Amino acid sequence: MEFVSGYRDEFLDFTALLFGWFRKFVAERGAVETSLEGRWRQLEAQIRRLPQDPALWVLHVLPNRSVGISLGQGAEPGPGPGLGAGWLLGDEPPLHLRDLSPYVSLVSLEEGGEGEEEEEEEEENGEEEGAGTQKVEPEEDVEPAHTSRESPQEANPPGEPEDAEQEEGGGENGCREDRAEDESGPKRRKGRRSEAAPLHLSCLLLVTDEHGTILGIDLLMDGAQRSAGKGSGTENLAPRAYALLCHSMACPMGSGDPRKPRQLTVGDARLHRELESLVPRLGVKLAKTPMRTWGPQPGFTFASLRARTCHVCHKHSFEVKLTPCPQCSAVLYCGEACLRADWRRCPDDVSHRFWCPRLAAFMERTGELATLPFTYTAEVTSETFNKEAFLASRGLTRGYWTQISMLIPGPGTPRHRQGSTPSLSLLLNGDPYQLLQGDGPALMPPVPPDSPRGLFGSWQDYYTWRGLSLDSPMAVLLTYPLTVYYVITHLVPQSFPELNIQNKQSLKIHVVEAGKEFDLVMVFWELLVLLPHVALELQFVGDRLPPESDQQHFTLQRDGPEVSVRPGSGVSARLNSGTKEKGSRRDLQIKVSARPYHLLQGPKPDLVIGFNSGFGLKDTWLSSLPRLQSLRVPAFFTESSEYGCVMDEQTMAVATGGGTSPPQPNPFRSPFRLRAADNCMPWYCNAFIFHLIYKPSQGSGARPGPGPGPPAPTPAAPPVSARRRRGEKKPGRGARRRR
């Protein structure tokens, strides 16, 4: 059994959702279009009986003339052209956007191929706006900038059969590939390209409600490159748009049951006229005039992300009814067949029969993990938490807030791309908290004039001393430096008292397998506020770091607005904290090593820390853990769930023969509950902390690390039966590793 909640890029789940719905839509549309007219009448009658949605629905028409989709050589094998559905949604799904680079990339269809990146960003922003709409009054006689289309010859909903064939051949790949690269923005990568001409997504039809919930999508694909000039539109669009509307009502992609809108507006004048005779068949009122303009509401949402999937067959909740395991309530299944298949998986220690009682114990921690002092706790710890809506409603749509969400910065907002070194203009502007701010007033108060008199063991204590309101969401970003602080001041003295770490004036800390935490590097400035008399060196290490940042380093200093650059030795940035430091000044040095940890050369650190590590999901840990074993330095790691801690312990045993300490809840965990597609377990960034227990050296006489605990009882049959038996984990079997 393997769960990737908390480790996988959110946008890949979003891409899988779009692709899953689009694939179902294409299959059902093809079946209806090849049937008799009575099938359409039956579908229309069914829709007329649906309950009414009070929200306004919008049909967007988004043309594309300049960006094509190039399939890499890695996309050629498998069923059909491009990336197969099993690869994106199956048992070995990609974890990061960069994993798509050998399969798909965006290319310019303009002559000369210049300006590819700018065109990608324009397309990205256009599609992002389609996810959230603003309710406006339509105006007459406003022609859009799209290419004109001829009216359909008939008013019948079925489209041309060739359209369905064309869509089945290239449209499925176009959905996930175009969306995955279009909206990924900073994470796009160029992969190897095939010799075939790039696919052209000529037009995107998008159905949303006024709140931004995506209800349906249709992609009009051309198989070969076209000119970027006129003639790149698609004719006879009304039947396809009508079919999309029908399926969006009968099977909405976003959350909620089948329903029809009280009113529909269309973002294209010609298409609006063509649908005037079709939409009333569904019992839906069409706006008198087409919509003139639209844009995201302040609280726009990606509510479509609430769709769940079956843990076994990966079908979404809009395809099948999902129910949790009746015994552990942790894993979602579409029916008895998938539950039994997961129950009887081989080998035994990956079956649900083995894990069911353990997952039930993990579920019992749900209330404890949701016990936080913030005013918004109930909202952000809910299973249906909508992170993008929460951030947008508070104006947190810029800076580091876009690094932890699917929001895209608005026009004119300085961008710090994920996986790239922060620009000097962002580091050296004198305000260490600039990237932590939102669109409103400053979120971080001035640094207190006096150093902390005691040690903080909870968010409540830290917020009180720091002058933060419990309504402030800064804990979402500050979880990283506060976790480091908690390890230094609490966990190391408890577990390794002989190191006397609290009396050291300088500390060298390695942040291993760094990724997202490096994208948020300036949040670690807060360590200088919490530990003002300690000189800190943070070295970020990992092969996911940008290669161009390898061997770079810079120094952050507490006083003085001056900036100096020393060639060959990195950057020294003197940031103004607003107060003069009492006593000697301490610096924070940041170093970058873009390589796996076992290949790092240099002095031995005082402490090693890893965030949300996932030992079993990356093969390099099988080399990095023995490296840590040889160094024998205190190494603390966080995980987003207890399940991850168990898998990490198994990997540690396989890699080194050692173990891990019992995980404990991190009092400085992020308050945001992470989305889980195929399970109901509580996942939070930095939820649990443990440290490595190294295998004793031969002849050392040290007591060995703790062995595995007593086996938990495991049912002998699926939960429909009350029988139980005790099961043991097979000796010597390690964590399942992703290939």
Structural domain contains residue 615: yes
Indicate whether 474 and 541 sit together in one domain: yes
Position 406 confidence tier, pLDDT thresholds 50, 70, 90: confident
Residues 164-185 pLDDT 10s: 333 333 333 333 334 334 444 4
Phi, psi (degrees; rounded to nearest 5) at 425: -65, -30
CATH number at residue 472: 3.40.50
**pLDDT in the model for residue 31:** 64
Report residue 322 as tokens. 């999902």
Top-confidence range, 434-438, 506-510, 674-678: 506-510
Distance from C-alpha of 461 to C-alpha of 672, rounded to nearest angstrom: 19
Structural domain contains residue 164: no
Indicate whether 243 and 362 sit together in one domain: no
How crowded is residue 568: how many other Cβ atoms within 10 Å of its Cβ? 4
- The answer, yes or no, to whether residue 707 has pLDDT greater than 50, is no
- The answer, yes or no, to whether residue 422 has pLDDT greater than 60, is no
Structural domain contains residue 360: yes
**pLDDT in the model for residue 524:** 92
Report residue 212 as tokens. 């931004």
Phi, psi (degrees; rounded to nearest 5) at 608: -120, 135
Indicate whether 258 and 340 sit together in one domain: no
Structural domain contains residue 436: no
Give me the residues paired with residue 536 across strands: 507, 588
Structural domain contains residue 524: yes
- The answer, yes or no, to whether residue 126 has pLDDT greater than 60, is no
Indicate whether 277 and 338 sit together in one domain: no
Distance from C-alpha of 90 to C-alpha of 80, rounded to nearest angstrom: 16
Indicate whether 352 and 493 sit together in one domain: no
Could you tell me which residue, 499 or 88, shows the higher pLDDT?
499
Q: Are residues 542 and 513 in contact, defined by beta-carbon separation less than 8 angstroms?
A: yes
Indicate whether 529 and 676 sit together in one domain: yes
**pLDDT in the model for residue 723:** 40
- The answer, yes or no, to whether residue 710 has pLDDT greater than 80, is no
Could you tell me which residue, 232 or 429, shows the higher pLDDT?
429
Q: Are residues 694 and 658 in contact, defined by beta-carbon separation less than 8 angstroms?
A: yes
**pLDDT in the model for residue 713:** 57
Q: Which of 452, 466, 55 is nearest to 248 (CA)?
A: 55
Residues 605-623 pLDDT 10s: 999 999 999 998 889 999 9
Residues 133-155 pLDDT 10s: 333 333 333 333 333 333 333 44
Positive or negative: CA dihedral 305, 310, 311, 315: negative
**pLDDT in the model for residue 194:** 44
Structural domain contains residue 17: yes
Helices 336-343 and 352-363 pack at an angle, to 10 degrees, of 100
Distance from C-alpha of 480 to C-alpha of 474, rounded to nearest angstrom: 11
Structural domain contains residue 717: no
Q: Are residues 304 and 17 in contact, defined by beta-carbon separation less than 8 angstroms?
A: yes
Q: What is the DSSP string of 127-196?
A: HHHHTS-------SS---SSPP-PPPSS--S---HHHHHHIIIIIHHHHHHHHHHHTTGGG----PPPSS
Residues 15-59 pLDDT 10s: 888 888 888 888 887 766 555 566 778 888 999 999 999 989 999
**pLDDT in the model for residue 318:** 87
Distance from C-alpha of 293 to C-alpha of 291, rounded to nearest angstrom: 6
Mean pLDDT of 444-462: 89
**pLDDT in the model for residue 585:** 54
Indicate whether 531 and 621 sit together in one domain: yes
347: preceding bond cis by omega (within 30 degrees): yes
**pLDDT in the model for residue 719:** 67
- Comparing 103-112, 272-281, 282-291, the range with the smallest average pLDDT is 103-112
Residues 478-536 pLDDT 10s: 999 999 999 999 999 999 999 888 889 999 999 999 888 888 888 998 998 899 889 99
Distance from C-alpha of 217 to C-alpha of 219, rounded to nearest angstrom: 7
- Comparing 77-81, 267-271, 719-723, the range with the smallest average pLDDT is 77-81
- The answer, yes or no, to whether residue 447 has pLDDT greater than 90, is no
User: What residues make up the domain containing 356?
Assistant: 323-367
Report residue 256 as tokens. 């909620």
Q: Which of 429, 436, 426 is nearest to 481 (CA)?
A: 436
Strand, helix or coil at 246?
helix
**End-to-end Cα distance, the chain:** 15
- The answer, yes or no, to whether residue 636 has pLDDT greater than 60, is yes
Could you tell me the maximum CA-CA distance found in the chain, to the nearest angstrom? 88
- The answer, yes or no, to whether residue 572 has pLDDT greater than 50, is no
**pLDDT in the model for residue 323:** 94
Residues 228-273 pLDDT 10s: 334 434 457 888 899 999 999 999 987 678 999 999 999 888 899 9
In total, how many domains does the chain have? Answer: 3
Indicate whether 483 and 546 sit together in one domain: yes
Position 413 confidence tier, pLDDT thresholds 50, 70, 90: low
**pLDDT in the model for residue 189:** 39
How crowded is residue 347: how many other Cβ atoms within 10 Å of its Cβ? 11
Indicate whether 269 and 363 sit together in one domain: no
Phi, psi (degrees; rounded to nearest 5) at 278: -100, -45
Q: What is the pTM of this model?
A: 0.78
**pLDDT in the model for residue 611:** 96
Distance from C-alpha of 356 to C-alpha of 694, rounded to nearest angstrom: 29
Position 284 confidence tier, pLDDT thresholds 50, 70, 90: very high
Indicate whether 327 and 282 sit together in one domain: no
**pLDDT in the model for residue 236:** 72
- The answer, yes or no, to whether residue 436 has pLDDT greater than 70, is yes
**pLDDT in the model for residue 68:** 76
Position 85 confidence tier, pLDDT thresholds 50, 70, 90: very low
Indicate whether 507 and 617 sit together in one domain: yes
Position 475 confidence tier, pLDDT thresholds 50, 70, 90: very high
DSSP code for 582: S
Structural domain contains residue 381: no
- The answer, yes or no, to whether residue 706 has pLDDT greater than 90, is no
Indicate whether 628 and 686 sit together in one domain: yes
**pLDDT in the model for residue 439:** 76
**pLDDT in the model for residue 687:** 97
